[in-house]
């Protein structure tokens, strides 16, 4: 890709990101009786955007209570540096961990079932260092013994799967995906990020991937989904290519209790119609969350 093509692509995604913040929907007002369903933040660092977004949702203490255990699940799949945007931004992970501890969390875990070698991924993504420095316990996800077979009630394609024990043992589950391109599903966001909770991802990719993502979503819904759209990989995902040439800096973030709403808003930032993403459409049709952003009370924040 030459410089002119990159600039054109960057401009295209900048327009898409700006459009996501002007979608029709009930704009939240201070003192409104209705709570905020979704916060859309842009124009700051990952940490500052999280603080603004979580405050719009009532503050971290609305999600984390004293002496609770929390699991923070970023996307830590690939052995690349943060600038490639294949993994969740480490600064965002660190801020979430710190805020949970400040809210009184007894213990905060961070983990993922990585695609590349887990030791290298944890290190080179920058997430292990950031999370530990912030006070988290960085747990491994590389051994099948951590995963336990669980039924998937109502699953059309997925009937059972092995799930990492931390997902059920922790009181609070915070899902922190990075928004990026995916060669099979077009985008990776919140629901797709839940695949890092299971042991056997390969079988999902060969059979009904979109349906299985939707089937799995309600098994343990996150209490909060925070979508990292600071740097967005716009092509050649999910790993990206050398030099990170497909990465566009969007400086955006989406936060919601509703994972379907979060994915729908992030899809708009990517420039996609949520109903063109099969797993989002499937989840919405099964009433797992709200995909129609016009029905949400959205707080839009520009820093």
179-189 pLDDT tens trace: 999 999 999 99
The dihedral built from the CA positions of residue 108, 81, 189 and 163, taken in this order, carries a sign that is negative
Is pLDDT of 136 > 90?
A: yes
Mean pLDDT of 112-141: 98
Is pLDDT of 278 > 70?
A: yes
Is pLDDT of 96 > 70?
A: yes
Interacting residues of 151 by C-beta distance below 8 A, sequence separation 6+: 159, 160
Q: Which among 86, 83, 91, 134 is positioned nearest to 112, based on CA atoms?
A: 86
Distance CA 291, CA 269 (A): 14
Q: Which among 186, 50, 79 is positioned nearest to 40, based on CA atoms?
A: 50
CATH topology of domain 3-21+37-240+251-302: Rossmann fold (3.40.50)
Distances (CA, A) of 223 to 8, 72, 150, 196, 301: 38, 10, 19, 17, 22
* Token representation of residue 238: 């999910």
Q: What's the pLDDT band for 29 if we cut at 50, 70, 90? A: very low
Return mean pLDDT, the chain.
Answer: 92
Cβ atoms of residues 179 and 228 within 8 Å: yes
Cβ atoms of residues 263 and 282 within 8 Å: no
Q: What's the pLDDT band for 177 if we cut at 50, 70, 90? A: very high
Q: What's the pLDDT band for 266 if we cut at 50, 70, 90? A: very high
pLDDT computed for residue 28 by the predictor: 44
Percentage of the chain exceeding pLDDT 70: 89
Torsion of CA 3, 81, 44, 136, to 10 degrees: 170
pLDDT computed for residue 5 by the predictor: 53
* Token representation of residue 79: 């052995």
Distance CA 279, CA 113 (A): 21
Three-state secondary structure call for residue 2 = coil
Q: Which among 237, 281, 273, 259 is positioned nearest to 19, based on CA atoms?
A: 273
Q: Which among 94, 87, 101, 77 is positioned nearest to 130, based on CA atoms?
A: 94
DSSP secondary-structure letter at 221?
Answer: -
Distance CA 260, CA 103 (A): 26
Torsion of CA 133, 135, 141, 144, to 10 degrees: 140
Q: Which among 277, 179, 186 is positioned nearest to 236, based on CA atoms?
A: 186
């Amino acid at each position: 890709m030459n410089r002119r093509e990159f600039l054109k692509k960057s401009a295209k995604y900048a327009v898409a990101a700006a459009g996501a913040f002007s979608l029709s929907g009930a704009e939240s007002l201070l003192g409104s009786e209705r709570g905020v369903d979704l916060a859309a933040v842009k124009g700051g660092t990952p940490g500052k955007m999280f603080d603004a977004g979580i405050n719009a949702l009532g503050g971290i203490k609305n999600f984390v209570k004293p002496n609770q255990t929390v699991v923070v699940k970023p996307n830590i799949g690939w052995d690349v540096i943060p600038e490639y945007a294949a993994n969740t931004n480490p600064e965002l992970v660190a801020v979430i961990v710190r805020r949970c501890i400040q809210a009184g969390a007894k213990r905060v875990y961070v983990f993922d079932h990585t695609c590349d070698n887990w030791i290298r991924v944890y290190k080179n993504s920058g997430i292990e260092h950031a999370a530990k420095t912030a006070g988290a316990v960085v747990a491994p996800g590389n051994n099948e013994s951590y995963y336990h077979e669980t039924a998937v009630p109502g699953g059309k394609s997925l009937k059972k799967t092995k799930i990492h024990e931390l997902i059920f043992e922790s009181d609070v589950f915070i899902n922190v995906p990075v928004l990026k391109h995916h060669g099979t599903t077009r985008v990776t966001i919140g629901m797709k990020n839940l695949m890092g909770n299971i042991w056997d991802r390969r079988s999902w990719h060969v059979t009904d991937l979109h349906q299985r993502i939707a089937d799995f979503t309600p098994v343990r819904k996150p209490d909060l989904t925070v979508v990292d759209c600071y740097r967005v990989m716009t092509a050649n995902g999910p790993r990206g290519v050398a030099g990170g040439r497909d990465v566009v800096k969007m400086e955006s973030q989406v936060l919601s209790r509703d994972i379907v709403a979060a994915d729908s808003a992030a899809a708009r930032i990517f420039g996609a119609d949520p109903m063109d993403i099969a797993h989002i459409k499937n989840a919405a049709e099964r009433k797992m969350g709200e995909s129609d952003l016009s029905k949400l009370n959205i707080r839009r924040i520009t820093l």
